[in-house]
Amino acid sequence: MKQKTHSGAKKRVKVTGTGKFIFAHSCKRHLLSDKSKKAKGRNKYGIVAHATNKLAAQRCLPYGVK
């Protein structure tokens, strides 16, 4: 039986070509006028998931990993 992909994870997590999981930084949704340009720039790109969370991400995205 085929596994189902977690619909919340497929909207939030991107899998790179090497199999790493990238997701968005926090603190980038609202109240941005109070944050400095430097703080907003640090959150510009995604962050690579920690190794301890990799197994959970693989279970949510069974066909996303190459």
| 30: region left, alpha or beta (phi > 0 left; psi from -120 to 50 alpha) | beta
Our count of domains for the chain comes to 1
Burial state string for 11-37 with b = 16 or more CB within 10 A and e = fewer than 16: eebebeeeeebeeeeeeeeeeeeeeee
- Domain carrying residue 18: 1-24+39-66
Q: pTM for the full model?
A: 0.74
pLDDT of amino acid 43: 87
Q: Is residue 56 part of a domain?
A: yes
- CATH number of the domain at 5, please: 4.10.410.60
Residue 60 maps to a domain:
yes
At residue 33, the pLDDT reads 94
Q: Output the pLDDT for position 65.
A: 63
Block means of pLDDT (10 residues each) for the chain, 66 residues, are 92 90 90 93 90 91 76
